[in-house]
């Protein structure tokens, strides 16, 4: 069976998993093995997603499962993205009930690990959350093919999409697809609020050219899309020192030549 959810297009034999370690061939059908398996649940400030221009000052119930369809050596969340962590099962009905009963909560953010690989769960929850007049937020690497994305896009109110770099080579080294990430931003910006995050890693994606080129592309969609340049700290397989603050401030100045809202994160 071929999984057509993301650009890996995995061929999965009976009872085996795809590259993400989540989607599985069961009796000739591709299913998501992490359906409803929640590893993290917290009421976070919306700014923590980060979303700075979507109900600023509010809080959102944030949930994550496990697994990812990229394998970034610098992953800042590798404990749940690259491993099957302990989980609690929450049906879409139960998650919606918790969201409704949580005080001062504007909705549910699917975050912490890559939510699009839990496609069926996110869709099932999003339908119920919309019925309850709650917001649906996705924090994603954007690695989802157009056909499933079109089915999801109308159910999502806001996205934070991680643009890892402005380089096909960089994406390949982290097992992702540059063109898919760009296309996802272009598609979802037509139907939802969008903000972009880029983790700036010394010697990897911190050159002026990349940020200038990415900002120009983003401004072509809308100069009002907020860009968050986030500070890298050594994690997982990367032991380079943390990004110098001066680098971040230099790149912010470059991005601001094209974009109206550029922020520094994790300093």
Q: By C-beta, is 30 or 185 nearer to ligand SF4? A: 30
Q: By C-beta, is 83 or 257 nearer to ligand SF4? A: 83
Binding residues (CB under 6 A) for ligand SF4: these are 3, 5-6, 8-10, 18-20, 23, 69, 117
Closest approach, Cβ 127 to ligand SF4, in A, equals: 21
Structure tokens at 66: 């496990």
Rounded to the nearest 5°, which phi and psi values hold at 193? -75, 135
Structure tokens at 149: 């994305």
Q: Which helix (H) or strand (E) holds 227?
A: strand 227-231
Q: By C-beta, is 180 or 258 nearer to ligand SF4? A: 180
CA proximity to 162, closest of 131, 140, 144, 147? 140
Closest approach, Cβ 267 to ligand SF4, in A, equals: 33
The answer, yes or no, to whether the previous bond of 50 is cis (omega within 30 of 0) is yes
Closest approach, Cβ 257 to ligand SF4, in A, equals: 36
Closest approach, Cβ 236 to ligand SF4, in A, equals: 19
Closest approach, Cβ 5 to ligand SF4, in A, equals: 4
Q: By C-beta, is 117 or 138 nearer to ligand SF4? A: 117
Closest approach, Cβ 57 to ligand SF4, in A, equals: 35
Strands 23-26 and 40-45 come out as: unpaired
| Neighbour tally for 9: CB within 10 Å | 12
First to last CA, the chain: 45
- Residues 159 and 191: beta-carbon distance below 8 Å: no
Distances (CA, A) of 119 to 12, 30, 37, 166, 204: 17, 11, 13, 26, 31
């Amino acid at each position: 069976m071929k999984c057509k959810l993301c650009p890996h297009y995995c061929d999965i034999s009976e009872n085996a998993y795809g590259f993400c370690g989540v989607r599985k061939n069961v009796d000739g059908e591709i299913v998501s093995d992490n359906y409803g398996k929640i590893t993290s649940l917290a009421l976070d400030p919306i700014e923590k997603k980060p979303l700075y221009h979507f109900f600023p000052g509010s809080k959102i119930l944030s949930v994550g499962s496990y697994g990812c369809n990229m394998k970034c050596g610098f992953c800042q969340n590798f404990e749940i993205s690259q491993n099957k962590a302990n989980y609690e099962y929450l049906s879409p009905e139960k998650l919606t009930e918790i969201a409704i009963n949580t005080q001062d909560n504007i909705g549910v953010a699917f975050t912490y690990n890559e939510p699009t690989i839990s496609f069926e769960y996110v869709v099932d929850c999003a339908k119920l959350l919309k019925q309850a007049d709650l917001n649906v937020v996705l924090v994603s690497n954007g690695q989802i093919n157009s056909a499933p994305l079109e089915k999801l896009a109308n159910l999502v109110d806001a996205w934070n999409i991680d643009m890892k770099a402005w380089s096909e080579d960089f994406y390949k080294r982290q097992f992702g697809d540059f063109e898919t990430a760009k296309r996802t931003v272009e598609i979802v910006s037509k139907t939802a609020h969008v903000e972009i995050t880029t983790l700036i890693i010394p010697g990897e994606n911190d050159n002026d050219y990349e940020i200038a080129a990415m900002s120009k592309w983003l401004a072509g969609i809308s100069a009002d899309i907020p860009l968050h340049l986030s500070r890298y700290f050594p994690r997982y397989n990367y032991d380079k020192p943390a990004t110098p603050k001066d680098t971040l401030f230099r790149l912010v100045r470059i991005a601001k030549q094209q974009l109206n809202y550029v922020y520094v994160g994790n300093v």
